[in-house]
Structure 1
């Protein structure tokens, strides 16, 4: 079960939906570049090393025109197997499609059909969770939050706006604030505003 705030704990670290989405997007872009480079006319695919190999002359010419491609040429591609497992099925077309005949440049990899299907399904599930958290997490604001804060007696309007802005940015605390009794809201406000030099 995910926490109520728009964050999740993955591999022991708290991450936001945006961080998950951006991380997956970065690796998807790397996979797209690797797939494109494997199609270069002079490139050979080394399946053992997971490397796109170019003869020295082609390598130097290509890297002169496309210096960012150097990290993917004539050396093992870091995390190739993992990228292939996650993104190959989602982005593949033509000769790279899962289940198509493997050409001389590309083999299926070290995963069985069952493992490949499981990894693809896990990847899709992570993508779906990240997208759902990204879309719904930041937008949910309790409809009663504004009145719950702004109608509290004994505080300046400026101080209440500061508290309201904080609670908008910290939605779990905002939901908690709305559910408090008036006495507890006043205590929370006094404590929060004292910490932020408004009392």
Structure 2
């Protein structure tokens, strides 16, 4: 195996940063140029939510891709992707709080009762909270082996995120089916490994 494959490509991180920030740049541009369509709030909620789950799926893909492509260096980018997923999840949550709930607890209660998919989304954010808070070197050192155990919550987050998407479908199930299929495929090697060890 080449030294480059082990240590990673020097320009990979800057390129990954740019790629992860492109959706945010588009969202800002679309909002400022009033290009979000007839329902800009809905568009903002959908865009931030879609990029949240897409990056979550990419994080889940790191381990199998590392094994299939024999590229251990891919693990170097998992935490960075996790922070971007955390960023877009928080952005999504902020848009919902501001434009859907208007920072009013009574409105939030009504919406939670009327739209149960929001409960799944909120739980996904809640489970992701400790992951975002501990995604730094100090937390890694302090938690030791428990850090890896804690960050396995990403699987719970991914399932809740998919439920959040699936539950709110009104017409086309394409995105929900695609995300669900990808998550299932990425979970399969892990589930197989668990079954084999029993």
Calculate the TM-score normalised by the size of structure 2. Answer: 0.26
Whichever structure has more strand as a proportion of its residues is 1
Whichever structure has more helix as a proportion of its residues is 2
Higher radius of gyration, 1 or 2 = 1
